[in-house]
């Protein structure tokens, strides 16, 4: 295992508006509602003029450079005068069982990771600011060295073999090393590619070192899946795939799970934020179809849903509102660009002319309207709604060949490209589909199948079960499929994990040396405007090389019954800070 390091840089490009004093322990973020006197001091709740994550600067360190951050959801206001209540069970749902609950290896955002585990830092779902979490503060001692100060008093959940012991710097070191493991199972290892060393200075301090300045580092520390795990749990269980092997520092403990039925979590009585969580527990039910989900909201059988835990499309939102106008909805952009993914190491996709032909023929507008009910927008390699500062704007995309509404010339150009590639009479492509999450893993491909017939391309779709789908993809044993790519809320992740040579989620095998140079350059560029120019150049290169057929970024709505309080659904944190949710009933 290679040792990795982490550093927060002076003038870090992901650093942002609010500075937290580094010479004193940072306060734990408080909930939106007024809290009891035992609660931690409140974190900033107002949206800054230019939202952006935050760095806790070392004494005398230069002020971090502000940079635009993704658009995030606003909090649900708590009525004035209400006092949070203890108790109640939050009822939610899952569309299918996650095959892994290991925060460092899973790519399934329906895993209950954020309830059980906690990331080093976290990104406020209302403001976009990077805040302290189990790492209480950090200081920059050079452009390539940072010291992380571990929060005191944090304990692992009281389950064997960890048995409620105190979290220390050694746990932070172990977790960072494990995330960076050079093993295909560790799908976020590319996030720490610039880290060269991580070491515990004592029980409360971790020193991390980079090979060069690393602009996205803080945001990666706030990725919900980059969580602290206990070494003895990994050693006992071999991995953490089973939800009943999950032992973190979070507000809820695993209680039970029945495949295909549901499961439950219970309140962690030893949680480090005193007086939290408010809820006694969380349950989830397996609800595989939208009709059953809508009925559950209408009848009050579900309290809240977001993302894959019961988030809904715009069409479903309207259906629920017609009968239940008091239900609360919050739009939450998803960090999941949807694409048609090609294995570019295999024929016919190893020929860029074939890829360009498909790019020209696929009708994104039709897919958005039919598959998403209009609840999505065009997206290139980087989502323009999530990353408006960096992305090719949607208005510009809508005028570009392939992304624009189809024209006869687009289809003729596509046929010419196929003929030049040696397919004058068209070709047949074997594709894979899955009903795991149909609108992501099947329906876009089914619609594209009809569209591609217009240029002589026949698509044969073979259905795979969930386990086979993920297993074949990780082994790069596939041809053509529809999927979404969830990443950290960081523009570097949008580029790196899918398009860098050998990256953890570059399942299609795309490898381009010019792209490698651009990715490396934007990572070490701390000036936002200069970094933006590099990122735009990288996007245009990807549109030209077509490693994937870029489709759209979805809009989903978080759903909350009228009695739900303290929930702030946001990008990357489906339920917001779950310890702050309570019920006014």
Sequence-ordered list of residues with C-beta below 8 angstroms from that of 10, at least 6 positions apart, any chain: 57, 61, 62, 64, 140, 142, 143
**Are the beta carbons of 555 and 377 closer than 8 angstroms?**
yes
pLDDT average, residue stretch 102-118? 82
Tokens coding 204: 């409360």
The pLDDT score that the predictor gives to residue 96 is 66
Cβ of 267: how many Cβ atoms within 10 Å? 21
Q: Answer whether residue 72 shows pLDDT above 60.
A: no
pLDDT average, residue stretch 278-302? 93
Q: Answer whether residue 358 shows pLDDT above 90.
A: yes
Per-residue pLDDT reduced to its tens digit, 459-487: 999 999 988 988 898 888 999 999 988 76
Listed range (63-67, 390-394, 455-459, 463-467) with the worst mean pLDDT: 63-67
Listed range (79-93, 106-120, 173-187, 327-341) with the worst mean pLDDT: 106-120
pLDDT average, residue stretch 434-454? 91
The pLDDT score that the predictor gives to residue 244 is 81
The pLDDT score that the predictor gives to residue 31 is 36
pLDDT average, residue stretch 162-177? 98
Between 355 and 374, the higher pLDDT residue: 355
Q: Where are the alpha helices (DSSP H) in 383-527?
A: 394-397, 408-420, 438-441, 443-452, 466-474, 491-499, 513-524
The pLDDT score that the predictor gives to residue 4 is 37
**Domain made up of 338-555: CATH architecture:** Roll (3.10)
C-alpha span between 118 and 248 (Å, rounded): 7
Highest mean pLDDT among 38-52, 60-74, 86-100, 239-253: 239-253
Between the alpha carbon of residue 425 and those of residues 48, 58, 160, 354, the distances in Å are: 57, 65, 64, 13
Between the alpha carbon of residue 32 and those of residues 42, 135, 417, 465, 560, the distances in Å are: 8, 22, 56, 41, 16
pLDDT average, residue stretch 211-228? 91
Q: Where are the alpha helices (DSSP H) in 87-162?
A: 113-116
Map 277-336 to HEC letters: CCCCEEEEEECCCHHHHHHHHHCCCCCEEECCECCECHHHHHHHHHHCCCCEEEEEECCC
pLDDT average, residue stretch 87-91? 97
pLDDT average, residue stretch 316-332? 92
Q: Which residues pair with 457 in a beta bridge?
A: 427
Query: How many degrees, rounded to 5, is the angle at CA 518 between CA 215 and CA 542?
Result: 120
The pLDDT score that the predictor gives to residue 441 is 87
Tokens coding 472: 């074949």
Q: Answer whether residue 75 shows pLDDT above 60.
A: no
HSE of 161, CA atoms in CB hemisphere, 13 A:
11
State the pLDDT confidence band at 94, using cuts at 50, 70 and 90.
confident
Give burial (CB, 10 Å; 0-12/13-18/19+) of 21.
exposed
C-alpha span between 26 and 33 (Å, rounded): 20
Tokens coding 502: 């050998």
Highest mean pLDDT among 55-59, 182-186, 202-206: 202-206
DSSP state of 63: P
Per-residue pLDDT reduced to its tens digit, 485-534: 876 678 998 898 889 998 878 999 999 999 999 999 999 998 889 999 99
Predicted structure pTM score: 0.74
Q: Answer whether residue 66 shows pLDDT above 90.
A: no
Chain-centre distance of CA 403, in angstroms? 24
Q: Are strands 480-484 and 338-342 parallel, antiparallel or unpaired?
A: antiparallel
State the pLDDT confidence band at 280, using cuts at 50, 70 and 90.
very high
Dihedral (Cα; 108, 112, 115, 120), 10-degree rounding? -30
Closest by alpha carbon to 403, among 428, 375, 367? Answer: 367
Q: What percent of the chain has pLDDT over 70?
A: 84
In a 3-state reduction of DSSP, which class is residue 119? Answer: strand
The pLDDT score that the predictor gives to residue 258 is 87
Tokens coding 152: 């005191």
Per-residue pLDDT reduced to its tens digit, 527-562: 889 999 999 999 999 999 999 999 998 888 999 999
């Amino acid at each position: 295992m290679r040792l990795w390091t982490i550093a927060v840089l002076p003038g870090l490009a992901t650093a942002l508006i609010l500075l937290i004093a580094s010479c004193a322990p940072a306060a734990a973020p408080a909930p939106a509602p007024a809290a009891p006197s035992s609660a931690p001091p409140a974190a900033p709740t107002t949206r800054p003029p230019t939202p952006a994550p935050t760095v806790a600067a070392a004494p005398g360190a230069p002020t971090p450079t502000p940079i635009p951050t993704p658009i995030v959801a606003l909090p649900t206001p708590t009525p004035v005068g209400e006092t949070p209540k203890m108790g109640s069970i939050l009822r939610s749902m899952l569309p299918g069982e996650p095959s892994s609950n290991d925060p460092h290896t899973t790519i399934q955002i329906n895993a209950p990771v954020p309830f059980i585990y906690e990331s080093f830092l976290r990104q406020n779902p209302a403001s976009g600011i990077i805040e302290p979490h189990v790492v209480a503060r950090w200081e920059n001692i050079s452009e390539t060295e940072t010291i992380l100060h571990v929060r005191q008093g944090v304990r692992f959940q009281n389950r064997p073999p960890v048995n409620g012991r105190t979290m220390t710097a050694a746990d932070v070191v172990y977790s960072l090393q494990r995330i960076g493991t050079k093993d295909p199972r560790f799908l976020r290892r590319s996030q720490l590619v610039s880290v060269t060393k991580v070491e515990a200075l004592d029980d409360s301090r971790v020193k991390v070192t980079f090979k060069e300045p690393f602009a996205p580092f803080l945001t990666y520390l706030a990725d919900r899946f980059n969580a602290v795990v206990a070494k003895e749990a990994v050693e006992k269980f071999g991995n953490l795939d089973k939800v009943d092997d999950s032992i973190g520092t979070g507000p809820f403990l695993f209680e039970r799970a029945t495949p295909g039925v549901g499961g439950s979590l219970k309140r962690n009585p030893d949680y480090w934020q005193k007086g939290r969580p408010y809820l006694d527990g969380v349950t989830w039910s397996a609800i595989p179809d939208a009709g059953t989900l809508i009925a559950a909201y209408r009848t009050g059988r579900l309290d809240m849903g977001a993302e894959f835990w019961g988030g809904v499309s715009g069409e479903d939102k309207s259906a629920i509102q017609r009968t239940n106008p008091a239900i609360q909805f919050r739009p939450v952009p998803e960090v999941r660009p949807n694409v048609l993914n090609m294995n570019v190491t295999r024929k016919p996709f190893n020929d860029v002319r074939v890829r360009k032909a498909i790019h020209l023929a696929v009708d994104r507008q039709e897919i958005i309207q039919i598959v998403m009910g209009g609840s999505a927008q065009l997206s290139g390699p980087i989502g323009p709604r999530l990353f408006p500062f960096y992305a090719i704007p949607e208005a510009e995309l809508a005028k570009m060949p392939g992304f624009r509404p189809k024209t006869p010339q687009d289809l003729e150009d596509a046929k010419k490209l196929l003929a030049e590639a040696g397919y004058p009479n068209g070709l047949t492509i074997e594709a894979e589909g899955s009903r795991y999450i149909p609108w992501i893993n099947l329906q876009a491909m089914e619609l594209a199948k009809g569209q591609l017939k217009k240029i002589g391309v026949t698509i044969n779709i073979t259905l795979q079960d969930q386990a086979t789908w993920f297993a074949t993809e990780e082994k790069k044993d596939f041809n053509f499929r529809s999927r979404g790519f969830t990443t950290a809320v960081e523009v570097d992740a949008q580029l790196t994990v899918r398009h860098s040579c050998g990256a953890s989620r570059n399942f299609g095998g795309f490898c381009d040396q010019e792209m490698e140079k651009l990715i490396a350059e934007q990572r070490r560029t701390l000036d936002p405007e200069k970094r933006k120019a590099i990122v735009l150049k990288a996007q245009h290169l990807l549109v030209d090389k077509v490693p994937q057929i870029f489709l759209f970024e979805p809009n989903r709505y978080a759903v909350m019954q009228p009695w739900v309080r303290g929930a702030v659904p946001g990008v990357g944190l489906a339920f917001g800070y779950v310890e702050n949710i309570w019920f006014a009933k």
